[in-house]
Amino acid sequence: MLKPNMFYGDLKESYLFYNIAKKTGKYLEEHPDTHLYRMGIGDVSLPLCDAVIKALHEAADDQSVPEKFNGYMPECGAGFLRSAIAEHYRGRGVQLADDEVFVSSGASDELGDILDLFDRENSSLIIEPAYPAYVDANVMGGRKIVHLASGRDNGFLPTPDENTKADLIYICSPNNPTGAVFSREQLKAWVDHANKNGSVILFDAAYEAFIEDESLPRSIFEIEGARTCAIEICSLSKTAGFTGTRLGYTVIPHDLERSSMNFNKMWVRNRTTKTNGVSYVIQRAGAAVFTPEGQQQIKQNIAVYKKNAKVLMKVFDQLGIWYTGGKNAPYIWLECPNGMGSWEFFDFLLNEAQIVGTPGEGFGKCGEGYFRFSTFGSPADTEEAAARLLKLLG
């Protein structure tokens, strides 16, 4: 008799965003015509930059010309895009071969699919508070999860000790939800730990483009020893506004091997079996991001979000509220004032200032008492929300 994957029964209801939608829906029902200041969103608000739009149009036109038409694309990514991404890394001092870069439809897809490379008996360490997909993808695969709580005492940036034991290690830096960024020394501790124990680090670099402090690493491969213990998963979603356009990339070094199995070769085999590549048009749009013009334009968009972050950070500084993130990340993670719980603070902000944020408890137990603000909203809404916060909490 057919047996479903019973591990799906172990998934917890994804109540975080469901609850937020329910509470805001109820508020709007009771207060029609009220404008809500949505500071919880993880989606971008600015459109694609001109260089990307131009590439999209040109690529669409190519598809109408027999000599320029493209059918199936190479499963692991178009040569022009793999090479543009590898060159981008090389420009930042990280030496990669083009075929160590795999083009994907986004980081979410890869974070789930990559688990195909590892035995079900492997355990996964998840640093919490965490992006909820890490836990859920591992529950679906029936893997044992090792929860590593972090907190204000370590700036939400824990490092391993002799009790840390897991086969797979998820590291997200800059972090969603905390906005905290691991230093070189902290990442080196994780890399050394992984190499010593034979673990593999899954490094989520979805927010690397927000790092402005030159001393902070934007890629795990800036750390010596990472080529033998890490896979990097990245995305153009937040870097270049591709949340709806869909494009990402994954770096698997040739040197990453366990039990005589080479993970780069395994991923080639996986992709050539399970995908038929990302569309030509979208890959051309992606390549435009890595041109000098594209880089300059995406930086202008990121600067808008960074200005939002500054506006909010100024208010929290004035109010003396502890927070992390904001400077090198599009999220600000703060301690709820007056000892309020995450959901208590959520209700308070919604009812008293019509501001919607994200309760920290939704990212893991240790997020209780904390709150996430996103900086992806419109500047006008962010300014008004900041003014309301100052008035309400001052």
One-letter amino acid at 76 equals C
Count of H helices and E strands in the chain? 12, 15
Is residue 208 part of the contact set for ligand PLP (CB under 6 A)? no
Stretch that binds ligand PLP, among 1-9, 101-109, 161-169, 364-372 (CB under 6 A): 101-109
Q: What would the x/- binding string for ligand PLP be over residues 222 to 251, using CB under 6 A?
A: -------------x-x-----x----x---
Distance CA 248, CA 18 (A): 27
Is 107 one of the binding residues for ligand PLP (CB under 6 A)?
A: yes
Instruction: Select from 14-22, 106-114, 213-221, 257-265 the region that touches ligand PLP (CB under 6 A).
Output: 106-114
CA 108/CA 252 separation, integer angstroms: 17
Distance in angstroms (rounded) separating the CA atoms of residues 56 and 194: 41
- Segment near ligand PLP (CB under 6 A), from 71-79, 104-112, 259-267, 349-357? 104-112
Part in contact with ligand PLP (CB under 6 A); list of ranges 83-91, 100-108, 140-148, 368-376: 100-108
CA dist., res. 184 & res. 223, Å (int) = 7
Rg of the chain on CA atoms, in Å: 21
Element (DSSP H or E) covering residue 373:
strand 370-374
Query: CB within 8 A of 22, min separation 6: which ones?
Result: none
Closer by beta carbon to ligand PLP, 138 or else 235: 235
Output 129 or 253, the one with its CB closest to ligand PLP: 129
Establish if 176 lies at the interface with ligand PLP (CB under 6 A).
yes
Residues 124-153 that bind ligand PLP (CB under 6 A): 131
Question: In whole angstroms, what is the distance from residue 175 CA to residue 130 CA?
Answer: 8
Instruction: Compare residues 42 and 151 and give the one whose CB is closer to ligand PLP.
Output: 42
Query: How many chain residues bind ligand PLP (CB under 6 A)?
Result: 13
Residue 357: partners with Cβ closer than 8 Å, 6 or more residues away: 39, 40, 345, 346, 349, 371, 372, 373, 374
Q: How far is the CB of 248 from ligand PLP (least distance, A)?
A: 5
Q: Which residues bind ligand PLP (CB under 6 A)?
A: 42, 106-108, 131, 172, 176, 204, 206, 235, 237, 243, 248
